[in-house]
Amino acid sequence: MFLKFQHLDTNCIPILHSVNKTSKSTNINGGVLLPLPRHRTETEFEQKPIKKHKIPPRKPSNFDKRSVFYKPESNPDGEVENPDGEKVVIEKYKAGKGGRVWLRKEMVNKGKLHTKCSTKFVKENEVVKKAHTKCSTKFVSENEVKKSHTKCSTKFVSENEVKKAHTKCSTKFVRENEVKKADTNCSMKVLSENEVVKKVHTNCSTKWARYGGCIPAILEALETISDLDEAFKPWELTLSNKERTIILKEQRSWQRAMEIFKWFKRKGCYELNVIHYNIMIRILGKSRRWSELETLNDEMEKNGIHPINSTYGTLIDVYSKGGIREKATYWLETMNEKKMEPDEVTMGIVVQMYKTAGEFEKAEEFFKKWSIRKGLTESNPMAVIRTTPTKIAAINSDPQPHVCLSSYTYNTLIDTYGKAGRVKDASETFEQMLKEGIVPNTVTLNTMIHMFGNHGQLDKVASLMEKMENLGCPPDTRTYNILISLHAKHDNIEMATGYFKKMRSSSLEPDAVSFRTLLYALSIRHMVSEAEELVSEMDKRDLEIDEFTQSSLTRMYIEAGMLEKSWAWFRRFHVQGKMSAECYSASIDAYGERGHIVEAKKVFECCQERRNPSVLEFNVMIKAYGINKKYDEACRLMDSMAEYGAVPDKCSYNSLIQTLASADFPEKASFYLRKMQDSGLVSDCIPYCAVISSFVKLGQLEMAEQLFKEMVRFRLEPDVVVYGVLINAYADVGNVEEALRYVNAMKETGLPMNAVICNSLIKLYTKVGCLKDAEQAYYTLQRLDVGPDVYTSNCMIDLYTERSMVKPAEEIFEKLRRNGNANEFSYAMMLCLYKKIGSFEEAFEIAQKMRELGLLTDLLSYNHVLGLHASDGRFKEAVTIFKQMIESGVEPNDSTFRSLGVVLMKRGVSKKAVSNLEVMWKNDHRSGVEAWLATLDSISGLVFQDLND
């Protein structure tokens, strides 16, 4: 009845076993801890081959050999024999309440066909053909033609004619000795009557070959055929749970995945279990399709599909990576409420979530509690049931139960400790990993190298590099990238370059990260020729030069003074038309910061050529104008933003207001401040503070106070800085009442005193002579972390000097001198204090120290030292100080000449002559000073003559 088959090459025919329907209650993890690098869905539904048993055949009545459907006796192994003794595999599908059974031929005489192919049997003289995408076709003698191809539909005609229609290949077979084929995608060899014709379809993808079976063909069809009914047609009745899992997992876009998922549901004959939903949750989460994901969760609950461990892990993972931390925490809490203990994979996800958020303590606490419960579960399962949350803390103090962890978990923990700066804990975890007999992989060692390098422990980095060789774990590209980055960070560019070269000698190709890391290190050091060599190599390798690299090289040329090259480099990317707003902004900023405002403006104009500039480019250009003191241009640019469809944002206004305020244009700054207020963009007192400070600087306290009242009227809470500016302003003019009014207002709002306020108060109290209040503010300042500065300490010394309080003044002065903070004013105040109480020995010691330290530069200091020598009758020293004062360019004042007059009168010069000298100086400073010097020289000559006599 059937034609005799030639031998088929079975290597290209994947043999599939039958697949039982997956139970919803199956323990998918099987109690085995799975490492994460392999996706969980790939391992959870790997099913072991089912051992087949022969069942005695039962011949049903009225059996039609051509029938496709019949109902055999149920067999759990899925294999029966039909009445003709031919083995078939059955597969059940739910359709409504009943079930349907499809019969699939497994053996036809001596020829073996694929279990998932549909076959038509024809009359004695007709040809039996089979379609299979990955099988070669053999053409044999006149009456024997056999073909295996899953994507082809075959029509069989008369004895000497075979016609075939293929969706991708059109083939015509004609008479006995003629074979013709036209197919652009297939290569065929046409041989003689009894020879074989082989076909290789180049369009079939090999990227899914690892799955075997019909999966590659299905995935290929789904990529090339948009209509799902058409794409699934050859396999519509035979898809298993595992195959549906793989099909969903391999989809690149969430839209296509949803189409397929809905198609499965629409057919009604496919079971969609929790794993299929897990896959869809991950796909939608990665694509940030939160509303669709929520709908899917609701659908699971409605259909009675209960979430499992991996479901919660997936939800926590996608929400945390999507930046919706609250939702990720919600699912973790839901898992806890259901008393579902996370498996190791889910635990790793939660630790990763805390680590990414910088909450390292929470990550460690979660891991410790999990490992304790895990250890108790493994040693005594009932212990966990009896353990309440309050007992967990008590358990923490006990020796931790032994828990076997995967290398992925150890890597996560090491990285968590490393990012938290806990190098010791990370090292101990690494040692524990070795004790457990888990061999570190490249990821582990890369993490350790990165951690030690970031903490400056380069000796341990070298030790780990040796350990990599000993463990047979060679460095990969990431290892070298880390080493390049670390050594560049520690300013060892030679070592960084050396590792780049060593990577090549190790037969590893540098990737884009390698080039970018080294390029940045070279650019900030202005190593132009070396950077250009790397760029040339990147061009040869067709490696894309990203915007960060482009911007860093532009800045390198600018800072190296190579403006022409910087412009040529910028033009290279501008002409390509692929520059983003961020890239244009970086170039504007680079030129603007270095004072090249013309080039910055040209970059802005280039941006206008391509498109309307965004608010980002406007903001950076406004900043550039401000740096280069082009205030009018900055204002005009701000006013023109609306013409380009750009709306000023908070940054735009803040930048311009700060620029105008710091340039002493508070009126203009106030204009834009009010526009900012009208736009509803003022959310704090910072812009007001800038303008208030500008008014204060110009002495316009009334305007500053009006602006302060306006700020309060808009319900913007003043901060300590604003109060400090106003308190300091009134302290400078000695207005104690107004200054204290703002101090009391600040206290009423509950704002704490800070260093600025305390310093302002001490300055104020010094001017009005309020020692007690000044001391209280000084003690408050001492309790703060910042502590008193030199100016404040000098104010206190001045207050103590006025009251001749030597001991407290000496304590402050000695503290300043020990810390190396004592300045000229500190010494001058102490000199006055000692002179005032008559301690001339200590006073002269201070004066000598001032001369030795070069602290005689100010008029006040010169007058203090000169007055000290004059009051003690030391004529020679007084004259020397005066001449030093004139030579240094310090202009004397009335106090200077009063001290000199005392010296002259003590040497016998009449009071009238001294008065004449003072009048001469007041009438003409220059001639007056010369007259004083001449008189002092003449008196000095007499003094020296008397001494010689």
Q: What is the mean pLDDT of residues 747-773?
A: 86
Q: Do residues 286 and 257 make contact, with C-beta atoms less than 8 angstroms apart?
A: no
pLDDT at 521: 94
Stretch among 165-174, 412-421, 932-941 having the lowest mean pLDDT? 165-174
Those residues whose C-beta lies under 8 Å from the C-beta of residue 481, and which sit 6 or more positions away, are 511, 513, 514, 517
Q: What is the mean pLDDT of residues 241-264?
A: 91
pLDDT at 207: 67
Cα separations (Å) of 848 from 73, 490, 809, 822? 118, 46, 19, 15
pLDDT at 116: 36
What's the rounded Cα separation, in Å, for the pair 297 and 293?
Answer: 6
Those residues whose C-beta lies under 8 Å from the C-beta of residue 91, and which sit 6 or more positions away, are 18, 19, 78, 101, 102, 104, 238, 240
CA neighbours closer than 13 Å in the CB half-sphere of residue 136? 18
Distance of CA 557 to the CA centre of its chain: 27
Cα separations (Å) of 318 from 286, 321, 627, 654? 6, 5, 44, 36
Q: Do residues 316 and 283 make contact, with C-beta atoms less than 8 angstroms apart?
A: no
Burial class for 201, CB neighbours closer than 10 Å (0-12, 13-18, 19+): middle
> What is the per-residue pLDDT across 707-757, written as a single tens digit (0 to 9) for each?
999 999 999 999 989 998 999 899 888 888 898 899 889 989 888 888 888
* Residues constituting the chain: 949
Encoded amino acid at 750, one letter: G
- Tell me the three-class secondary structure of 223-275, residue by residue: HHCCCHHHHHHHHCCCCCHHHHHHHHHCCCCHHHHHHHHHHHHHHCCCCCCHH
Q: Which two tokens stand for residue 216?
A: 């590659």
What's the rounded Cα separation, in Å, for the pair 921 and 912?
Answer: 14
Q: What is the mean pLDDT of residues 907-911?
A: 85
The closest alpha carbon to 553, from 578, 526, 577, belongs to 526
What 3-state DSSP class applies to 172?
strand
- Is residue 523 scored above 50 in pLDDT? yes
Those residues whose C-beta lies under 8 Å from the C-beta of residue 386, and which sit 6 or more positions away, are none
Q: What is the mean pLDDT of residues 396-412?
A: 67
pLDDT at 134: 37
H or E, element range at 163: strand 162-166
Q: What is the mean pLDDT of residues 803-807?
A: 93
What's the rounded Cα separation, in Å, for the pair 892 and 739?
Answer: 35
Could you tell me the pLDDT band of residue 566, with boundaries at 50, 70 and 90?
Answer: very high
Q: Which two tokens stand for residue 635?
A: 């204002």
Could you tell me the pLDDT band of residue 388, with boundaries at 50, 70 and 90?
Answer: very low
- Is residue 814 scored above 50 in pLDDT? yes
Q: Which two tokens stand for residue 889?
A: 């360019």
Q: Which two tokens stand for residue 295?
A: 């709908």
Q: What is the mean pLDDT of residues 197-211?
A: 52
pLDDT at 380: 58
Cα separations (Å) of 568 from 238, 558, 598, 883? 62, 11, 15, 60
- Is residue 154 scored above 50 in pLDDT? no
- Is residue 413 scored above 60 in pLDDT? yes
Q: What is the mean pLDDT of residues 570-593?
A: 93
- Is residue 40 scored above 70 in pLDDT? no
pLDDT at 381: 53
273 CB neighbour count, 10 Å cutoff:
20
